[in-house]
Amino acid sequence: MKLTYLLFILFCMSVSFTPKAQPLPEYCPEPLKLVYYGNWYPYMYAQGDNHQGTDWTFLLKILKVLNCQINVVKIPEKRAHKDLSKRHALVMIAATITKERLKHAYFSKSYRDEVQSIFYLESKDFPPNLASLEYVVAQSNMVAINGAAWYGKRVEALRASARDKHKFIHVPGMKKRIEMMRRDRAQSMVEDYIAGCNYFHQYAQDIAPKLRAITVHQVKVSYMFSKTNVSPAFIKRFDQTMTQLLEQGIYDDILAKFTPVGC
């Protein structure tokens, strides 16, 4: 009897003092890894040791509901796309759906539209309220672009044309492209509208009042996840959570915070 009682006491003590195992998150038991390869204000950019931006902040809010962790991995852009087909739980923001990417990645529902525009400064050569991309390119001696980006069929057709292809020049970094326009070394540039407009108002306030833009391409963007480490169940729950937050106006509130100039 005493032995039975002693064993019962020891059992109770083991139950009382054994730490409880922490349950793993249901949808992502390991931290996700987000690919980061350079500042892209206002969507994602580094501020000291931290990251900021509309798309990054919105992603964190979704993952918080799912009890998922995420780390940022800074790597070159070309390697980012290659690594998505390997055994890494890589995530990308503002991704467009392509047949090639669908082979190795899942996409969330779209969370915003990405609008590509050609920017120019109102002048005698560029009167206000233009609507012709072709006219702006024809009047430009140089069009500054990010050579690795896709700007839609209209821009790509001009980049491939015998008459205009020499005008398009790759200039790394949006601040450099804007500086070229300030010095009239480039007469126009092609860029995401919100990003370009905000950069002009931050870094080129002297010429921002003359800024004009024509939409050249519009596409819906999503979050992209490697198929290797993320399941369809995760994507389904991610989309449900994201839809709820979008309907609550959370992304619009975040956008307003990071783009006070109203672009």
CATH code at position 203: 3.40.190.10
Instruction: Verify that 92 and 154 share a domain, yes or no.
Output: no
Q: Are residues 163 and 191 in the same domain?
A: yes
Structure tokens at 138: 């024809």
Do 142 and 181 have their domain in common? yes
Same domain? 163 vs 241: no
Instruction: Kindly report the average pLDDT of the chain as a whole number.
Output: 86
End-to-end CA distance of the chain: 80
The answer as to whether 11 is a domain residue is no
Percent of the chain with pLDDT over 70: 86
Query: Residue 6: its pLDDT value, please?
Result: 38
Which residue has better confidence, 172 or 25?
172
Residue 7 falls within a domain, yes or no? no
Q: Is the pLDDT of residue 21 over 50?
A: no
Q: Give pLDDT tens digits for 73-127.
A: 887 655 655 555 554 558 999 998 988 889 999 999 999 999 999 999 999 899 8
What is the tally of structural domains in the chain? 2
Mean pLDDT of 205-216: 94
103 and 130 share a domain?
A: no
Do 67 and 97 belong to one domain? yes
Distance CA 28, CA 160 (A): 44
Pair 70, 59: CB distance under 8 Å = yes
Q: Is residue 19 included in any domain, yes or no?
A: no
Residue 209 above 60 pLDDT?
yes
Structural domain including 134 reads 114-218
Q: What is the pLDDT of residues 50-74, one digit of tens each?
A: 999 999 999 999 999 999 999 998 8
Rounded average pLDDT over 131-153: 93
Are 76 and 201 members of one domain?
no
**Do the beta carbons of residue 29 and residue 239 sit within 8 Å?**
no
So what's the pLDDT on residue 9? 34
CA–CA separation, 51 vs 100, rounded Å?
A: 29
Amino acid residing at 106:
Y
Confidence check: pLDDT of 169 > 80: yes
Q: What is the sign of the dihedral through the CA atoms of 236, 225, 66 and 108? A: negative
Does residue 74 form part of some domain? yes
